[in-house]
Every structure is written in C-alpha cells, then in structure tokens.
Amino acid sequence: MNNRKRSNRGLAVTLATLLPLAWGIASAAPLTPEMAAKREMVRKQKDQQVTPAERRAAADWLKAERVRIYNAKQAALKSNPGHSK
C-alpha cells in the first residue's frame, strides 16, 4: 500500500512538471492559416455568447411581459363577463 502511494505521488509530480512543458512546446508551434481562422472563429463565438447578466435581464423581461399579458386578459374577462374565451 505504501509503495502504491509513492508511485501515485511520483506520477502526479511527473505529470505536474511535464504537462506545462508540453503545453509550452505545443503553443510555440507556428500558427497556420487554418489555426488562425479557427482561433478567430472561436473568439467571435465567445464575443457573441450571452452573459449571465443578459440572460437574467431577458428572463426578467419575459416574466414581466407574461404578467402584463395575464393582467390584460383578466381585465378583458372582467369587462366582458359573458364571454369566457
């Protein structure tokens, strides 16, 4: 059991040191036109992504709109009690 813990720690230390090194080597590769186009596409998609604040504002607006429509329907029913729909 103790040997297993040591080997797991050794593996973790090895990975912790090699992964950043591998990332640095991979990121140092020259940027091809295809990769540049893909990077630009991803950047544009990220710019278009809806933020949580925008999502919350849209949800609040939709809730207010639904309440407004419900209240208008209730007022219409009260003014015309003979008509159910």
Return the structure tokens found at 48: 């278009």
When comparing pLDDT for 17 and 71, which is higher?
71
CA distance linking residue 67 with residue 69, whole number of Å: 5
Q: List pLDDT tens digits, range 13-65.
A: 787 887 776 666 666 667 899 999 999 999 999 999 999 999 999 999 999 99
What pLDDT score was predicted for residue 60?
Answer: 98
Q: How far is CA 39 from CA 25, 43, 46, in A?
A: 18, 6, 11
What pLDDT score was predicted for residue 10?
Answer: 80
Return the structure tokens found at 35: 């990769």
**Is residue 67's pLDDT more than 80?**
yes
